[in-house]
Structure formats: C-alpha cells, structure tokens
Amino acid sequence: MEKLILFVDDSPTMRSSVSFCLRNAGYRVTVAEDGQDGLVKLQSIKDKGDSVSLIITDINMPKMDGISFISKVKESEFRFVPILVLSTEAEKSVIDKGRAAGAAGWLLKPFQPEQLLWAVKKVVWPK
C-alpha cells in the first residue's frame, strides 16, 4: 500500500506543487491549510483506519503556525510520525524551535523536487 503523507501549508500553489511531486513519486497525499486543519485531517485519517507515514509542514501559517502544530502532534498519539518542515523560514532561532518541538528535518522553499523526495525517503520507514 502506498504511504500516506500529510502536507500542511496555507499556500494553494505550494499544496498543489508539493502534492503533484509526491503523488508522481508514488505517495498518497492529504493536504491541510494550516495547523488547526492539519490536526483535524490527522484525526480524520485515523478515524478511517488509515495511518500517516510522514507530515510535511510550513511554519508561517494563519490560525496555528507550524511550530505549534508540530508541538501538538508530538503531544498526541501521532508523536512517532516523522515531521519535515518545508518553509521560507531560515532563521537559526526558528529552526532550533522547530527541532526542539520535534521536527526531523528542515527544507527551504523554493524546493527542488529531487531534494524533497530524497528527504522524504530518508525519514519514511519501510513497512
């Protein structure tokens, strides 16, 4: 079965381009518009009896930012799901906060599809 990735980003363009890249590589993708929506989507995935192999999130989003979202995920039953950050945010203090919250890796926008897929393969566990 294809691995499911949750991608959380407030930009419709980013949601579309990252989803396209991941789907072409054989992954299933669910998208969310911000951290709050991401938490709802995680619960919905669980309620359907499915599981998430990876979460990719932006940092700067309305309603709930990426750092808060990562913290909430790591405090929940999804705490063992790896999280990658894909953001324009390159400030060391923000990256440190993200890593402290539980991010497994940090990629900068604009992304190169090969770089994104390499990072995804590094953190998605084979089943």
Q: Which residues contact 22 (CB under 8 A, 6 or more apart)?
A: 5, 7, 29, 116, 117, 120
Residues of the chain with confidence (pLDDT) below 70: 1, 125-127
**Residues 94 and 66 sit within 8 Å (Cβ to Cβ):** no
Backbone angles phi and psi of 30, in degrees to 5 = -115, 135
Burial grade of 25 (CB within 10 A; 0-12, 13-18, 19 or more): middle
Q: Where are the domains of the chain?
A: 4-123
6-15 residue pLDDT tens: 999 999 999 9
Report the predicted TM-score, pTM, of the whole model to 2 decimal places. 0.95
C-alpha 69/C-alpha 21 separation (Å) is: 23
Residue type, 79: R
How is domain 4-123 classified at the architecture level of CATH? Answer: 3-Layer(aba) Sandwich (3.40)
**Amino acid type, 8:** V
DSSP summary character for residue 19: H
Residue-wise pLDDT for 65-79, tens only, equals 999 999 999 999 999
User: Tokens 């991608």 map to which residue?
Assistant: 7
